[in-house]
Homo-oligomer: A and B are copies of this chain.
Amino acid sequence: MAVRAAVAGASGYAGGEVLRLLLAHPEVEIGALTGNSNAGQRLGTLQPHLLPLADRVLQETTADVLAGHDVVFLALPHGQSAAVAEQLGPDVLVVDMGADFRLEDAADWEKFYGSAHAGTWPYGLPELPGARARLTGTRRIAVPGCYPTAVTLALFPAYVAGIAENEAVIVAASGTSGAGKAPKPNLLGSEVMGSMSPYGVGGGHRHTPEIVQNLSAAAGARVSVSFTPTLAPMPRGILATCSAKAKPGVTAESVRAAYEKALADEPFVHLLPEGQWPATASVYGSNAVQVQVVLDESVGRIIAISAIDNLAKGTAGGAVQSMNIALGLPEELGLSTIGVAP
Protein backbone atom coordinates (compact mmCIF):
# COMPACT_ATOMS: atom_id res chain seq x y z
CA MET A 1 0.00 0.00 0.00
CA ALA A 2 1.46 3.27 -1.10
CA VAL A 3 2.16 6.13 1.23
CA ARG A 4 0.06 9.10 0.17
CA ALA A 5 1.91 12.39 0.50
CA ALA A 6 0.78 16.00 0.22
CA VAL A 7 3.06 18.98 -0.19
CA ALA A 8 2.12 22.41 1.12
CA GLY A 9 4.18 25.12 -0.53
CA ALA A 10 4.77 23.20 -3.75
CA SER A 11 5.73 26.20 -5.84
CA GLY A 12 8.94 27.07 -3.96
CA TYR A 13 12.37 25.50 -4.07
CA ALA A 14 11.95 23.20 -1.06
CA GLY A 15 8.53 22.10 -2.25
CA GLY A 16 9.79 21.46 -5.77
CA GLU A 17 12.71 19.45 -4.50
CA VAL A 18 10.64 17.23 -2.25
CA LEU A 19 8.36 16.54 -5.21
CA ARG A 20 11.37 15.68 -7.36
CA LEU A 21 12.44 13.14 -4.76
CA LEU A 22 8.99 11.76 -4.05
CA LEU A 23 8.46 11.13 -7.77
CA ALA A 24 11.39 8.72 -7.57
CA HIS A 25 10.25 7.09 -4.35
CA PRO A 26 8.80 3.62 -4.95
CA GLU A 27 6.43 3.69 -1.98
CA VAL A 28 5.01 7.17 -2.29
CA GLU A 29 2.01 8.41 -4.22
CA ILE A 30 1.78 12.15 -4.62
CA GLY A 31 -1.49 13.65 -3.45
CA ALA A 32 -2.52 17.24 -2.92
CA LEU A 33 -0.23 20.09 -3.87
CA THR A 34 -0.87 23.50 -2.43
CA GLY A 35 0.53 27.00 -2.67
CA ASN A 36 -1.32 30.06 -1.56
CA SER A 37 -0.30 32.85 -3.88
CA ASN A 38 -0.02 30.39 -6.75
CA ALA A 39 -3.19 28.41 -6.14
CA GLY A 40 -4.97 27.70 -9.40
CA GLN A 41 -1.79 27.61 -11.50
CA ARG A 42 -0.41 24.59 -13.35
CA LEU A 43 2.70 23.07 -11.82
CA GLY A 44 4.14 22.90 -15.34
CA THR A 45 4.43 26.67 -15.28
CA LEU A 46 5.82 26.94 -11.77
CA GLN A 47 8.13 23.91 -11.75
CA PRO A 48 8.82 23.18 -15.42
CA HIS A 49 11.40 20.52 -14.55
CA LEU A 50 8.78 18.24 -12.97
CA LEU A 51 7.32 17.00 -16.22
CA PRO A 52 5.27 14.12 -14.79
CA LEU A 53 3.35 16.64 -12.67
CA ALA A 54 3.05 19.34 -15.32
CA ASP A 55 -0.74 19.20 -15.49
CA ARG A 56 -1.34 19.21 -11.76
CA VAL A 57 -2.96 22.39 -10.45
CA LEU A 58 -2.07 23.95 -7.11
CA GLN A 59 -4.78 24.23 -4.48
CA GLU A 60 -5.13 26.52 -1.47
CA THR A 61 -3.28 25.43 1.67
CA THR A 62 -6.17 24.38 3.89
CA ALA A 63 -6.74 21.56 6.31
CA ASP A 64 -9.45 20.18 4.06
CA VAL A 65 -7.14 19.93 1.11
CA LEU A 66 -4.33 18.39 3.15
CA ALA A 67 -6.58 15.91 4.97
CA GLY A 68 -6.58 12.25 4.03
CA HIS A 69 -2.83 11.85 3.43
CA ASP A 70 -0.38 9.69 5.30
CA VAL A 71 2.34 12.31 5.16
CA VAL A 72 2.20 16.06 4.76
CA PHE A 73 5.35 17.98 3.88
CA LEU A 74 5.25 21.61 4.92
CA ALA A 75 7.37 24.07 2.96
CA LEU A 76 5.87 27.21 4.42
CA PRO A 77 7.22 30.57 5.62
CA HIS A 78 8.31 30.29 9.24
CA GLY A 79 5.59 30.72 11.78
CA GLN A 80 2.88 29.04 9.71
CA SER A 81 3.51 25.36 10.35
CA ALA A 82 2.04 25.01 13.82
CA ALA A 83 -1.47 26.03 12.83
CA VAL A 84 -1.51 23.67 9.89
CA ALA A 85 -0.06 20.77 11.87
CA GLU A 86 -2.65 21.11 14.60
CA GLN A 87 -5.48 20.74 12.16
CA LEU A 88 -4.00 17.61 10.64
CA GLY A 89 -4.30 15.58 13.81
CA PRO A 90 -1.77 13.36 15.57
CA ASP A 91 -1.89 10.37 13.23
CA VAL A 92 -0.66 12.12 10.15
CA LEU A 93 3.11 12.31 9.70
CA VAL A 94 3.88 16.02 9.43
CA VAL A 95 7.34 16.83 8.10
CA ASP A 96 8.16 20.48 8.58
CA MET A 97 10.88 21.71 6.26
CA GLY A 98 10.69 25.14 7.87
CA ALA A 99 12.37 26.31 11.06
CA ASP A 100 9.44 26.33 13.46
CA PHE A 101 10.13 23.21 15.49
CA ARG A 102 13.92 22.88 15.30
CA LEU A 103 15.03 24.80 18.36
CA GLU A 104 14.71 23.47 21.88
CA ASP A 105 15.27 26.78 23.57
CA ALA A 106 12.31 29.13 23.37
CA ALA A 107 14.50 32.11 24.14
CA ASP A 108 16.70 31.31 21.16
CA TRP A 109 13.64 31.11 18.94
CA GLU A 110 12.29 34.41 20.15
CA LYS A 111 15.65 36.14 19.79
CA PHE A 112 16.26 34.97 16.23
CA TYR A 113 12.72 34.80 14.85
CA GLY A 114 10.90 37.42 16.89
CA SER A 115 7.73 35.44 17.56
CA ALA A 116 6.42 32.97 20.10
CA HIS A 117 8.05 29.54 20.11
CA ALA A 118 5.77 26.85 18.69
CA GLY A 119 7.54 23.90 20.28
CA THR A 120 10.15 21.29 19.46
CA TRP A 121 9.71 18.21 17.28
CA PRO A 122 12.03 15.22 16.79
CA TYR A 123 14.96 16.53 14.83
CA GLY A 124 15.45 14.96 11.43
CA LEU A 125 19.19 14.45 11.30
CA PRO A 126 19.37 10.65 11.56
CA GLU A 127 23.16 10.61 11.75
CA LEU A 128 23.20 12.21 15.20
CA PRO A 129 23.54 9.84 18.16
CA GLY A 130 20.16 8.55 19.20
CA ALA A 131 18.33 10.29 16.38
CA ARG A 132 17.11 7.20 14.59
CA ALA A 133 15.42 5.92 17.72
CA ARG A 134 13.70 9.26 18.25
CA LEU A 135 12.50 9.35 14.66
CA THR A 136 11.18 5.81 14.49
CA GLY A 137 7.41 5.91 14.63
CA THR A 138 7.19 9.66 15.18
CA ARG A 139 4.41 11.64 13.54
CA ARG A 140 6.19 14.98 13.72
CA ILE A 141 9.60 15.77 12.20
CA ALA A 142 11.52 19.03 12.25
CA VAL A 143 13.81 18.96 9.22
CA PRO A 144 17.18 20.59 9.97
CA GLY A 145 18.29 23.76 8.28
CA CYS A 146 20.66 23.40 5.36
CA TYR A 147 23.69 25.00 7.02
CA PRO A 148 23.19 23.09 10.28
CA THR A 149 23.05 19.85 8.28
CA ALA A 150 26.36 20.56 6.58
CA VAL A 151 28.11 21.90 9.66
CA THR A 152 26.84 19.30 12.10
CA LEU A 153 27.83 16.39 9.90
CA ALA A 154 31.31 17.90 9.54
CA LEU A 155 31.89 18.49 13.23
CA PHE A 156 29.81 16.12 15.35
CA PRO A 157 32.33 13.27 15.07
CA ALA A 158 34.95 15.50 16.66
CA TYR A 159 32.67 16.54 19.51
CA VAL A 160 31.32 13.07 20.14
CA ALA A 161 34.88 11.82 20.38
CA GLY A 162 35.90 14.65 22.67
CA ILE A 163 38.88 15.67 20.56
CA ALA A 164 37.93 19.29 19.87
CA GLU A 165 37.79 22.34 22.09
CA ASN A 166 34.40 23.92 22.52
CA GLU A 167 34.87 26.88 20.22
CA ALA A 168 34.14 26.28 16.57
CA VAL A 169 34.78 28.65 13.69
CA ILE A 170 32.68 28.04 10.60
CA VAL A 171 32.64 29.69 7.21
CA ALA A 172 30.17 28.23 4.75
CA ALA A 173 29.37 29.00 1.14
CA SER A 174 25.87 28.35 -0.14
CA GLY A 175 24.27 28.32 -3.54
CA THR A 176 21.54 30.87 -4.12
CA SER A 177 18.60 28.47 -3.92
CA GLY A 178 19.11 28.53 -0.17
CA ALA A 179 17.72 32.04 -0.23
CA GLY A 180 14.48 30.91 -1.80
CA LYS A 181 12.45 31.83 -4.82
CA ALA A 182 10.97 35.16 -3.72
CA PRO A 183 12.56 37.73 -6.02
CA LYS A 184 14.88 40.23 -4.31
CA PRO A 185 17.33 42.57 -6.04
CA ASN A 186 20.41 41.05 -4.39
CA LEU A 187 19.47 37.59 -5.64
CA LEU A 188 19.20 38.54 -9.31
CA GLY A 189 21.44 36.56 -11.61
CA SER A 190 23.15 39.79 -12.65
CA GLU A 191 24.13 40.39 -9.04
CA VAL A 192 25.18 36.93 -7.93
CA MET A 193 27.01 35.57 -10.96
CA GLY A 194 30.69 36.24 -10.54
CA SER A 195 30.33 37.37 -6.94
CA MET A 196 31.03 36.03 -3.47
CA SER A 197 29.61 37.94 -0.52
CA PRO A 198 28.93 37.30 3.16
CA TYR A 199 25.71 37.98 5.04
CA GLY A 200 24.40 37.59 8.55
CA VAL A 201 27.95 38.02 9.83
CA GLY A 202 28.71 38.15 13.52
CA GLY A 203 26.29 35.56 14.81
CA GLY A 204 23.18 37.03 13.25
CA HIS A 205 22.19 34.16 10.98
CA ARG A 206 19.17 32.21 12.18
CA HIS A 207 20.96 28.92 11.75
CA THR A 208 23.53 29.82 14.42
CA PRO A 209 21.52 28.66 17.46
CA GLU A 210 20.62 25.43 15.67
CA ILE A 211 24.29 24.71 15.04
CA VAL A 212 25.10 25.49 18.65
CA GLN A 213 22.33 23.16 19.78
CA ASN A 214 23.60 20.27 17.68
CA LEU A 215 27.27 20.61 18.49
CA SER A 216 26.60 21.14 22.19
CA ALA A 217 24.51 17.98 22.29
CA ALA A 218 27.33 16.06 20.65
CA ALA A 219 29.92 17.52 23.02
CA GLY A 220 27.82 17.24 26.13
CA ALA A 221 28.73 20.84 26.88
CA ARG A 222 28.08 24.26 25.42
CA VAL A 223 29.99 24.80 22.18
CA SER A 224 30.39 28.38 21.06
CA VAL A 225 30.04 28.93 17.35
CA SER A 226 31.34 31.69 15.11
CA PHE A 227 29.35 31.20 11.92
CA THR A 228 29.79 33.21 8.72
CA PRO A 229 27.62 32.26 5.76
CA THR A 230 28.51 33.46 2.28
CA LEU A 231 26.56 33.49 -0.96
CA ALA A 232 28.30 31.69 -3.83
CA PRO A 233 27.60 31.98 -7.55
CA MET A 234 25.95 28.60 -8.03
CA PRO A 235 22.33 27.45 -7.79
CA ARG A 236 22.86 24.64 -5.29
CA GLY A 237 25.35 23.33 -2.80
CA ILE A 238 26.92 24.12 0.54
CA LEU A 239 30.59 23.87 1.32
CA ALA A 240 31.16 24.19 5.06
CA THR A 241 34.68 24.84 6.29
CA CYS A 242 34.71 24.17 10.01
CA SER A 243 37.50 24.18 12.54
CA ALA A 244 38.22 24.00 16.22
CA LYS A 245 41.33 23.69 18.29
CA ALA A 246 42.35 20.13 18.96
CA LYS A 247 42.44 19.06 22.58
CA PRO A 248 45.89 18.36 24.00
CA GLY A 249 47.33 15.05 22.83
CA VAL A 250 45.12 14.71 19.81
CA THR A 251 46.96 13.30 16.79
CA ALA A 252 46.23 13.00 13.10
CA GLU A 253 45.51 9.34 13.73
CA SER A 254 43.06 9.97 16.52
CA VAL A 255 41.23 12.53 14.41
CA ARG A 256 40.91 10.09 11.55
CA ALA A 257 39.80 7.34 13.89
CA ALA A 258 37.10 9.51 15.41
CA TYR A 259 35.62 10.28 12.01
CA GLU A 260 35.87 6.72 10.78
CA LYS A 261 34.08 5.51 13.85
CA ALA A 262 31.29 8.04 13.63
CA LEU A 263 30.69 7.75 9.90
CA ALA A 264 31.60 4.16 9.01
CA ASP A 265 28.07 2.87 8.84
CA GLU A 266 26.34 5.93 7.53
CA PRO A 267 24.68 5.30 4.18
CA PHE A 268 24.78 8.93 3.05
CA VAL A 269 27.82 10.46 4.72
CA HIS A 270 31.09 9.55 3.05
CA LEU A 271 34.40 10.23 4.71
CA LEU A 272 36.64 10.69 1.70
CA PRO A 273 39.99 8.90 1.37
CA GLU A 274 42.85 10.98 2.75
CA GLY A 275 43.97 13.61 0.32
CA GLN A 276 40.66 13.97 -1.48
CA TRP A 277 38.48 16.95 -0.64
CA PRO A 278 34.75 17.54 -0.91
CA ALA A 279 33.24 19.45 -3.83
CA THR A 280 29.65 20.54 -4.04
CA ALA A 281 29.45 19.42 -7.66
CA SER A 282 29.99 15.82 -6.57
CA VAL A 283 26.81 15.75 -4.50
CA TYR A 284 24.65 17.85 -6.86
CA GLY A 285 21.08 16.60 -6.73
CA SER A 286 21.93 13.74 -4.37
CA ASN A 287 21.44 12.94 -0.70
CA ALA A 288 25.15 12.25 -0.26
CA VAL A 289 27.47 14.17 2.03
CA GLN A 290 31.19 14.34 1.43
CA VAL A 291 33.35 14.90 4.52
CA GLN A 292 37.07 15.28 4.93
CA VAL A 293 39.05 16.14 8.04
CA VAL A 294 42.65 16.96 8.82
CA LEU A 295 44.69 18.04 11.79
CA ASP A 296 46.70 21.15 10.98
CA GLU A 297 49.57 20.50 13.35
CA SER A 298 51.22 23.85 12.80
CA VAL A 299 48.29 25.58 14.49
CA GLY A 300 46.73 22.71 16.42
CA ARG A 301 43.35 22.89 14.74
CA ILE A 302 41.06 20.20 13.43
CA ILE A 303 39.71 21.28 10.06
CA ALA A 304 36.61 19.46 8.88
CA ILE A 305 34.94 20.24 5.58
CA SER A 306 31.66 18.98 4.21
CA ALA A 307 29.78 19.34 0.95
CA ILE A 308 26.05 18.82 0.56
CA ASP A 309 23.28 19.76 -1.81
CA ASN A 310 21.37 22.32 0.23
CA LEU A 311 18.03 21.44 -1.35
CA ALA A 312 18.55 17.67 -1.25
CA LYS A 313 20.29 16.39 1.89
CA GLY A 314 20.08 19.94 3.23
CA THR A 315 16.28 20.08 3.02
CA ALA A 316 14.09 17.74 1.01
CA GLY A 317 16.40 14.74 1.00
CA GLY A 318 16.84 14.92 4.73
CA ALA A 319 13.07 15.17 4.98
CA VAL A 320 12.48 12.02 2.93
CA GLN A 321 15.23 10.15 4.79
CA SER A 322 13.57 10.96 8.10
CA MET A 323 10.14 10.10 6.71
CA ASN A 324 11.45 6.68 5.75
CA ILE A 325 12.64 6.09 9.30
CA ALA A 326 9.41 7.38 10.84
CA LEU A 327 7.32 5.10 8.66
CA GLY A 328 9.52 2.05 9.12
CA LEU A 329 10.65 2.02 5.50
CA PRO A 330 14.27 1.33 4.54
CA GLU A 331 16.13 4.56 5.30
CA GLU A 332 17.69 4.83 1.83
CA LEU A 333 14.49 4.17 -0.13
CA GLY A 334 14.06 6.56 -3.01
CA LEU A 335 17.22 8.46 -2.21
CA SER A 336 20.39 8.53 -4.25
CA THR A 337 24.05 8.96 -3.39
CA ILE A 338 24.92 9.70 -7.00
CA GLY A 339 25.57 13.31 -7.92
CA VAL A 340 24.77 14.89 -11.27
CA ALA A 341 28.18 15.96 -12.50
CA PRO A 342 29.86 17.61 -14.24
A338 to chain B, nearest CB (A): 6
Cross-chain contact of A49 among B171, B243, B338 (Cβ < 8 A): B338
Q: Does A139 contact B (CB under 8 A)?
A: no
A181 to chain B, nearest CB (A): 6
A24 to chain B, nearest CB (A): 7
Q: Does A213 contact B (CB under 8 A)?
A: no
State how many copies of this chain the complex holds: 4
Stretch of A61-69, A116-124, A277-285 that contacts chain B: A277-285
One digit per residue, 1 when the CB lies within 8 angstroms of any chain B CB and 0 when it does not, for chain A 221-253 equals 000111010101111110101010000000000
One digit per residue, 1 when the CB lies within 8 angstroms of any chain B CB and 0 when it does not, for chain A 161-204 equals 00000010101010111010101110111111111111101110
Contact A337 B52 (CB under 8 A): yes
| Docked complex Cα distance between A169 and B170 (Å) | 9
Cross-chain contact of A232 among B232, B286, B299 (Cβ < 8 A): B232
A193-B234, A197-B239, A203-B296 are known contacts; what are 10 more A-B pairs with Cβ within 8 Å?
A16-B342, A48-B339, A49-B341, A51-B286, A169-B301, A173-B173, A192-B193, A194-B194, A196-B232, A203-B299
A222 to chain B, nearest CB (A): 11
Q: List 30 A-B contacts (CB under 8 A).
A: A20-B340, A45-B276, A48-B276, A48-B339, A49-B340, A49-B341, A167-B299, A171-B171, A173-B173, A177-B190, A179-B190, A183-B183, A183-B184, A187-B188, A189-B193, A190-B342, A194-B234, A194-B281, A194-B284, A196-B237, A197-B307, A201-B292, A201-B296, A202-B296, A202-B303, A203-B296, A203-B297, A203-B298, A226-B299, A230-B241
A261 to chain B, nearest CB (A): 20
Q: Does A295 contact B (CB under 8 A)?
A: yes
Q: Does A101 contact B (CB under 8 A)?
A: no
Contact B340 A284 (CB under 8 A): yes
User: Which residues between 282 and 329 of chain A lie within 8 Å of chain B, taking CB atoms?
Assistant: 282-286, 288, 290, 292, 294-299, 301, 303, 305, 307
A215 to chain B, nearest CB (A): 13
Q: Which residues of A contact B (CB under 8 A)?
A: 13, 16, 20, 23-24, 42, 44-45, 47-52, 54, 167, 169, 171, 173, 175-177, 179, 181, 183-185, 187-199, 201-203, 224-226, 228, 230, 232-237, 239, 241, 243, 270, 273, 276-286, 288, 290, 292, 294-299, 301, 303, 305, 307, 336-342
